[in-house]
Amino acid sequence: MIEFRGVTKRFPDGTVAVDDLDLTVDAGKITVFVGPSGCGKTTSLRMINRMIDISEGTIELDGRDVNAVDAAELRRGIGYVIQQAGLFPHRTILDNIATVPLLLGWNKGRARKRAAELMEIVGLVPEMAKRYPAQLSGGQQQRVGVARALAADPPVLLMDEPFSAVDPVVRESLQDELLRLQGDLGKTIVFVTHDIDEAVKLGDKVAVFRTGGLLAQYDEPGVLLARPADDFVDDFVGRDRGYRGLGFLSSAKLPLGELPTVALGEPAPGGEGWTLVVDGSRHPQGWIRGVTGPVGADHLVPGGSLYDVTSGSLRSALDAALSSPSGQGVAVDGDGAVAGSISADDVLRALEGVRKGEAAA
C-alpha cells in the first residue's frame, strides 16, 4: 500500500506542482493518475520512487517513509516504466531485461534465465533475445520496458504514460496485455495517463487531478463516470461519459434471441435476410445475405464485435449490436461459440431498468 499524506511539491521558482495530496493506493490494484498537462500527476508518481523530492508531507510505502530509505535501494525495489521504454541502445533485449537483477547481485546466468522467462510472459518470441532496441517496433520496445521493470519481481510498478507513443491499435493491445499480466501477478501499479479512456479501462481506481496539483476526485471508474464530483471532472471525463459508463453495468439479465446460422460449406438458406456463418465449433465467421449454393469464405461479410455472455457489460453488448451488419449482435459463450443474439433495443431497455433501480434506491 502507498499512502500520500499532505504531500506538496513546490519548485524553487514558487510553482506548486502538487498541493496537499492525501491519497491511498490499494495494494495489488491498478491506480491511475489522470488529468490535463501540468496537473501534477507525473510529479506525484515520481515522488514515490524519489525521482523528485517531496517539499512537504510524507509518502509511505508499506508503512515506511520513502524518505527514510536510501534512494538507490528504494528504486531497485520498484519497477519503473516510462514513455519510449528508455532502453539501453547498445545492449541486447535479453541484457536490457536483466539489468536490475544484475544490479542486485544476481549472477549473469540466473539474470538471463529470468529475462528469458519474462520475454515469454510479455509476449516476445525467443528469437528477439539477441536483437537490439532499434530492431524492434515501438510496441515491442514497450513490452521490453515492462519486462525489465518486472525482472526483480518488485511489489510496486510505476508506469508513466508508457503507451502514449504507440499507435492506437498497438496501444490497445498493450493495455490488454497489462490487464492480463496484472490478473496473473497482482502488482501494486500506479499508472499515469492523460487519456480518460485508458484510465477507466485500466484503473481499479482513478485519481483525477486538476491544474495546480489538486486532487479533484478519486473513485472507482464506474462511480467517476456516473457521479462526477464537479464541473471540472464532468468536462474532463467528457460528454460521452454515459456511454463509457455502460462498461461498468452488468448485462447478466439481457435476453438472448434466436440467431439463424449456417456452417461453411453448407447450402445457403437463400432469401434476403441475414444469416450468421459458423465453423465446426460454432465460432462466428461472418454474415451472408442473398447467397445461393454452398457458403464459401469469399461470401462472408465482416460481423463486427462479439458480446461474451460470461464477462460482458452493457457497453460490449451495445457495441456488438451496433457494429453488426444485420442489426443483431452476436453473443458467444466462454468458448467463443454462438449463444444467441442481442439487440440495441434490449440494451437500452436494460439500461432504463438500471436507472429506475438507482432512482428507487
pLDDT digits (tens, 9 = 90+) for 263-280: 999 998 877 789 999 998
Q: Which CATH architecture has domain 2-248?
A: 3-Layer(aba) Sandwich (3.40)
Q: 126-178, pLDDT tens digit by residue?
A: 999 999 999 988 888 888 988 888 888 889 999 998 888 777 778 888 888 88
Domain with CATH 3.40.50.300 in the chain: 2-248
What is the pTM for the complete model shown?
Answer: 0.73
Chain centroid to CA 62: 25
Long-range contacts of 121-129 (CB under 8 A, 24+ apart): 121/147, 121/150, 121/181, 121/184, 122/146, 122/147, 122/150, 122/177, 122/181, 123/177, 124/93, 128/93, 129/92, 129/93, 129/94
Domain with CATH 3.10.580.10 in the chain: 261-352
- As a CATH number, domain 261-352 is 3.10.580.10
- Kindly tell me if the per-residue pLDDT of 359 is higher than 50: no
Instruction: Answer whether 29's CB lies under 8 Å from 178's CB.
Output: no
